[in-house]
Structure 1
Amino acid sequence: MSDETLETDYLVVGAGAAGMAFADALLTHSDATVTLVDRRHAPGGHWIDAYPYVRLHQPSAFYGVSSVPLGRDIVDTAGTNAGYYELAGADEIRAYFAHVMHDRFLPGGRVRYFPSSEYLGDDRFVSRFGQRSWKVRVRRKIVDTTYLEGAVPATSAPPFEVADGVCCVPAGDIARITQRPERFVVIGAGKTALDTCVWLLEQNVSPSSIRWIKPREAWWMNRRFQQPLAQLPGSYRGMAIQLEAMAQATSIEDLFARLEAEEVFLRVDRGVAPSMFRGAVISEGELERLRKIEDVVRLGHVRRIERDEIVLDGGSIPTSEASVHIHCSARGLARRPLRPIFEAGRVTVQPFLWGFVCYQFAMLGVIEALVASDEDKNRLCAPIAYWDENADYLSAFLSTLAHERARLAWPALAGWAKETRLNPFGAIGHYRDAPDVIDARERIKHHAATAAGNLARLLTTNARQAQQAPLRSEE
């Protein structure tokens, strides 16, 4: 099998949200040609593998590529998202990315797309099903969107042993079970586990029939403060609340306590201190339902499931063959060593500011197209690790403040940020005279600089305490 040769300006590895948002920005702001390679059979990344009842946890208005709207900008009137702007589900998102590819990207003649193809490195990829391979001459850069690719339960084996005869399924499979089990055992503490618990309750499963095994307790962001369009002034007020709390907090614990008191942050169990923060968003309606589940196990991670017991880090609990165990415990997003996002011949997609991933992935494409030197690009976009622990919220937010200051020196970037629908606060100028916006704007001006300094201090104190903790434990 000999390689076919092709040429392109950019070779984008991965046709998920990151690759599509980046490519869309290149097409809009440059004359570049783009080749997209993805091992999946259709565009959409992890959404191709997603469980059937998953929805975005942020409004549809903020997701996807900048040039093509997602959703109808309507407010839900029923369910746990009632009163807030719509959240696209898996089917809608898969259809959306297919539409972007086939109606926006391919007709212009500047994009070539190779689904079901494996990138091998060294500018080479092969078909996963056919006897074909390609060697690419990349004139500008390879764009790697897979560097921090996560693992999801649908495509990952459980991180624990499962004995023969035990019913253990990934989250998506419970929608297809044919017999009613005695009990549902949900394993995991992240967004998949939360969605699974909410979905079971929506299917009229009694809370007493659900056991929730949570290795950690998580903080969640209140969807009330993540809204676009007519509800954007309330979201802007949420930003003011965060900056004021950051300016006044005396510790990381105090910061989270202040934000919980303002209902910006939520937790399911008020009696357990959360140690996990991944930036996921829930509604108060979902929270109300989740609090009905009383059988919560906090004995660390599951090590193995036997026919009659579940063995965890901190002990064992009984189970039975009549229970279905739902695996929601993949490792999630990777936390590999950071590297410069922009290098000679390469873009390694990584987060560089807090929240809203499509906004920042699209911004990377805009920066690649409009800023000449990699040195300047990297000054604008210093990478950060994906958030996992409470302190990561502070470091990510601090990076966001630094990025906002740096971007002011680039009018083209600032102009794009004001116009793109992906920027959660890009349209705030339309509401400049609203009382909530006037008040929030003054609070932000008053507290922003102090917040940045205090965040840096709190992070330094936290790092020092972490270094000293082993010493104290040895004394």
Structure 2
Amino acid sequence: MTDQELETDYLVIGAGAAAMAFTDALLAHSDATVTIVDRRHAPGGHWLNAYPYVRLHQPSAFYGVSSVPIGNDSLDVSGTNAGYYELSGADELRAYFARVMHRHFLPTGRVRYFPLSEYLGEHRFVSKLTGKSWQARVRRKLVDTTYVEGSIPATSPPPFEVAEGVRCVPAGEIANIVERAERFVVIGGGKTALDACVWLLEQGVDPGMIRWIKPRDSWWTNRRFRQPLTLLPEFYRGAAIQLEAMAQSSTVEELLYRLEAEGLFLRIDPDVVPTMWRGVAVGEAEAALLRRITDVVRMGHVRRIERDEIVLDQGRVKTSAQTVHIHCAARGLARPPLRRIFEPGRVTIQPFLLGFVCYQFATLGVVEATLASDEDKNRLCPSINFWDVNRDYLSAFLATLTHDRARKAYPTIANWAKTTRLNPLAGIAHLREDPRVIEASERIARVERTVIGNLKRLLDTSES
């Protein structure tokens, strides 16, 4: 079959949150045409495969594309998020990204969208339904949003052997169980495992029926310090707490313990020192709920599940054929070798500051649209790895501080950052007279000159 030809300024591979945020910013700041190619049947990326009870760990106000709000900016009145701003779930997010594509992108006449299509390289792609293929003539750049794409349990097999007859399911399948389980074993230490445990407990499962296998324990960010709108002063106070701790601590360990003492960082077990930091926000009510699970196994990774025992790196524990084992052990965020984000003919989407992925990937769209030189673009947005171990928290924060001032020197980028809802601190200027904001500003002013230097020293002297 002969390739059909098309012309486009940008060829975007993927239609997940990163691709949508980047494209939205590109459309708003340029006259570019964009062709989006995605192997899934609808926009939304991994949200199309998400487990049914998943929700954002950050308020909806900070998520999605800049031009289209999500949610109602309302406070939850029940559940573990009560008193905080709403967290969108999988169904809402899937509908949101479909609405962005079909009611905002496509009506511009500047976007073409090819779902269920496989990118083959060299600007060529093919429909998985019809076999029809296209060769794109890309006038400006290919945009690869898949380079740091993670894996999730719903689409990844367990990274361990499972004997015949063992009940082992990904996180989403526990919502569809038809045969009562004798016990539940949750395998994994990240957000998916946390969500699975919380959901089981919220459904009334006795904590004694849950075993949690954690290869590593994690520090979690207290969601109280990640709130928008009326609660934004607390967010700003959290920034002051972090900067003070970074300026005054003599070791990484001291820094983390100071943040815990201030309530900004949480850990589930106060007797276990976490070695993982993924930037995930958790509410205090969730943490309290999770502490009800006392059967916690810390023997490394699961290697094999037999009908009567689970084999781990450092030992074995008993199990049974009537136990449901919940696989939450996918790799999660990818950490491939870093490459320059902006290159001739190519943009490789990667993080360049700490957290709030939609904000930073939209920023890349603004930078691409408004600056001419790839050298300047990379100077403002040098790539970093997604965070995993405790040390990554410091290095990502340092990257954020170091390059934020450079981006502020460009009026278009700076003005956009002050107004976009994706920037968590964009609204702080409207609260300058709030006593809490005044106090936080004073605390920041006292330490801001020493933060970067001490962060560099901490990173130079730390091992992990």
Fold shared per TM-score above 0.5: yes
Instruction: Give the CA deviation at 1:131.
Output: 2.0
Question: Displaced runs of 4+ in structure 1, greater than 4 A?
Answer: none
Alignment of 1:236-315 (within 5 A): 236-315=236-315
Q: Which residue of 2 aligns with 1:7?
A: 7
Q: Give me the whole-angstrom Cα distance separating, in 2, the residues matched to 1:54 and 1:265.
A: 22
Q: Secondary structure at the match of 1:153?
A: coil
- Residue 412 of structure 1: CA displacement? 1.1
Query: What is the match of residue 415 of structure 1?
Result: 415
Q: Give the match for residue 473 of structure 1.
A: none
Q: Which residue of 1 aligns with 2:390?
A: 390
| AA matched with 1:150 | G
Equivalent residues in 2 for 1:18-37, closer than 5 Å? 18-37=18-37
Name the CA distance, whole Å, in 2 between partners of 1:448 and 1:203: 46
Unaligned 5+ segments in structure 2 are none
**1:133-282 counterparts in 2 under 5 A?**
133-282=133-282
> Is the aligned partner of 1:116 residue 2:116?
yes
Structure 2 distance, partners of 1:233, 1:154, is 37
What is the one-letter code of the residue matched to 1:278? R
| Other-structure match for 2:377 | 377
What letter corresponds to residue 320 of structure 1 in structure 2? S
Structure 1 counterpart SS, 2:120: strand
Please tell me the residue identity of whatever aligns with 2:387. W
- Cα separation, 2, equivalents of 1:261 and 1:113: 49
Where does 1:89-100 land on structure 2 (aligned, <5 Å)? 89-100=89-100
Alignment gaps of 5+ in structure 1:
467-475
Query: Deviations along 1:270-289, whole A, 9 cap, x unmatched?
Result: 00000000000100010010
Give the partner amino acid of 2:73: D
Distance in structure 2 (CA, Å) of the matches to 1:40 and 1:268: 36
What is the alpha-carbon distance in structure 2 between the residues aligned to residue 253 and residue 341 of structure 1?
32
TM-score (norm 1): 0.97
For 1:432-443, list aligned pairs within 5 A: 432-443=432-443
- C-alpha deviation, 1:30, in angstroms: 0.3
Residue matched to 1:131: 131
Aligned residues: 464
The offset of 1:213, in angstroms, is 0.3
CA-CA distance at 1:402 after TM superposition? 1.0
Distance 1:131 1:121 in 2: 16
Partner in structure 2 of residue 76 of structure 1: 76
Q: Give distance in 2, aligned partners of 1:49 and 1:222.
A: 27
- Please report how far the alpha carbon of residue 408 of structure 1 lies from its aligned counterpart in structure 2 after TM superposition: 2.0
Q: Report what 2:365 is aligned to.
A: 365
Give 1:449 shift: 2.3
3-state SS, counterpart of residue 274 of structure 2:
coil
User: CA offsets, 1:199-243, max 9 Å, x none?
Assistant: 000100000000000000000000000000000011100000000
Q: Distance in 2 between matches of 1:350 and 1:412?
A: 22
State the secondary structure of the residue aligned to 1:57.
Answer: coil
Deviations 1:253-298 (A, max 9, x none): 0000000000100000000000000000100010010000000000
Distance 1:340 1:363 in 2: 16
Secondary structure at 1:155's aligned position in 2? coil
What percentage of aligned pairs have identical amino acids? 70
SS of equivalent residue, structure 2 residue 426: coil
Instruction: Give the counterpart letter for 2:251 in structure 1.
Output: S
Instruction: Report the Cα offset of residue 403 of structure 1.
Output: 1.7
2:336 & 2:309 partners in 1: Cα distance?
35
* Cα distance in 1 for residues equivalent to 2:448 and 2:148: 30
RMSD between aligned residues: 0.6
Q: What's 1:472 paired with? A: none
The two structures have a TM-score, normalised by structure 2, of: 0.99
How far is 1:58 from its partner? 0.1
Distance apart, 1:447 and its partner CA: 1.2
Provide the C-alpha distance between the structure 2 equivalents of 1:87 and 1:258, rounded to a whole number of angstroms.
28
Distance 1:163 1:37 in 2: 39
